[in-house]
């Protein structure tokens, strides 16, 4: 399924568009995803073809990568909302519904 998805952070500073054929959806229960989401799991949507276009607020995006982990937390520096990310050599994805 080829999708065009738009989104924004909670404060609407960062807006984006993703064009992708989404391949898989996982509820991950690893320690990083549990800590990141503050829940028993994190919902992750993956695509090997995703193209993220940042429409506004790109300068407000930061990421955090715990040492010794492949986990990535991409977020808005104004409101802290989770944002999608792309990782070269791996599938692009992000926790959905957060």
Would you write out the chain's pLDDT as a tens digit for each of its 98 residues? 457 889 999 999 999 999 888 888 889 888 888 888 888 988 888 888 888 999 999 999 999 988 888 888 899 999 999 999 876 544 444 444 33
As a whole number of angstroms, the distance between CA 25 and CA 41 comes to 13
96-to-36, 61, 68, 70 alpha-carbon distances in Å? 13, 17, 24, 18
Q: What's residue 2's pLDDT?
A: 58
Q: What's residue 53's pLDDT?
A: 93
Residue 49 tokens read as 């073809």
Round the CA-based radius of gyration of the chain to a whole number and report it: 13
Q: What's residue 42's pLDDT?
A: 85
Go through the domains of the chain in sequence order and give each one's CATH number: 2-86 (2.170.150.70)
> Does residue 30 come out as left (phi exceeding 0), alpha (psi in the -120 to 50 range) or beta?
beta
């Amino acid at each position: 399924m080829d999708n065009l998805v738009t989104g924004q952070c909670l404060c609407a500073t960062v807006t984006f568009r993703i064009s992708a054929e989404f391949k898989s959806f996982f509820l991950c229960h690893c320690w990083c995803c549990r800590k990141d989401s503050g829940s028993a799991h994190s919902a992750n949507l993956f695509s090997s073809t995703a193209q993220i276009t940042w429409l506004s607020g790109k300068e407000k995006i930061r990421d955090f990568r715990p040492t010794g982990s492949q986990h990535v937390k991409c977020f808005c520096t104004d409101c802290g909302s989770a944002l999608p990310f792309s990782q070269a050599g791996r599938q692009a994805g992000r926790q959905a519904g957060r």
